[in-house]
Amino acid sequence: MNKRGLILVISGFSGVGKGTVVRRLMEQHENYALSVSVTTRPPREGEVHGKDYFFISEEEFSAMEAEDRLMEWAGYVGRHYGTPRDYVLGRLEEGRDMILEIEVQGALQIKRKYPEAILVFVAPPGAATLKERLLLRGTESAEQVEKRLSRAVEESGAMEAYDYLLINDELETCVSQLHQIMQSEHRKMNVNRELMEKIKTDLKCFVEGE
Ligand code: 5GP
């Protein structure tokens, strides 16, 4: 097994239930850790600073960006969101698979900087389900729901840049498929170079030693 963790980027339209998929994945498997983003949007009811997000001001956000402390960042419906670099890189070194639940602009930045990152797009079984879920969630005003749906139209154009498409129809199936994807990614030759080199060297030693 390669020792360093992998970056798993999860995106999907607002309201698709990607947060629930990620929570369930982490409940079932210990090897994942979630990146906590910074955002300039106000907290929703029940959201906790440092757990759901670090809620910061526009000035603080600009300072983090200027100091190159963000792995990626993007604007979304009038607010800024970004991934703090140090925490993510530290956990990867410890061998954790780091989950970044981010929108598409940020995902594409990650893929450019870290080509071995795995990009998964979560989609609903149909567009109508999405609108229904967004309205049922009731956390956004009607105007915000409309904006989020328009953003979904924009985001659908970027789906093809992702490595995998997951349909969130039945939760447990979706979670298990996501875990299987990660298991396969860990077995790829290009993330196991160190191990391959060691096997090659050891084999040579055996042969030369004979
Ligand atoms: P929400 O306001 O619903 O929590 O998040 C809005 C969108 O921003 C979601 O698509 C979410 O995945 C995305 N997002 C959350 N954190 C980050 C981040 O650090 N970077 C980027 N690029 N997007 C983020």
Ligand 1, CB within 6 Å, residue ranges:
14, 37, 41, 72-74, 76, 81-83, 101-103, 105-106
Q: Is 83 helix (H, G, I), strand (E, B) or coil?
A: strand
pLDDT at 210: 63
The residue whose CB lies within 8 Å of the most ligand 1 atoms, and thus the one to mutate among 72, 81, 134, 148, is 81
SS3 letters across 146-208? HHHHHHHHHHHCCHHHCCEEEECCCHHHHHHHHHHHHHHHHCCHHHCHHHHHHHHHHHHHHHH
Does the global pTM surpass 0.85? yes
Residue nearest to atom 22 of ligand 1 (CA): 106
Query: Which H/E stretch holds residue 8?
Result: strand 7-12
Ligand 1 centroid vs 184 CA: distance in angstroms?
26
Residue nearest to atom 20 of ligand 1 (CA): 82
The residue whose CB lies within 8 Å of the most ligand 1 atoms, and thus the one to mutate among 76, 83, 144, 154, is 76
Q: What is the pLDDT along the chain (210 residues), one digit of tens a residue?
A: 448 899 999 999 888 899 999 999 999 999 999 999 999 999 999 999 999 999 999 999 999 999 999 999 999 989 999 999 999 999 999 999 999 999 999 999 999 999 999 999 999 988 888 888 888 888 888 888 888 889 888 888 999 999 999 999 999 999 999 999 999 999 999 899 989 999 999 999 999 986
Ligand 1 centroid vs 191 CA: distance in angstroms?
28
Residue nearest to atom 10 of ligand 1 (CA): 103
Ligand 1 centroid vs 189 CA: distance in angstroms?
31
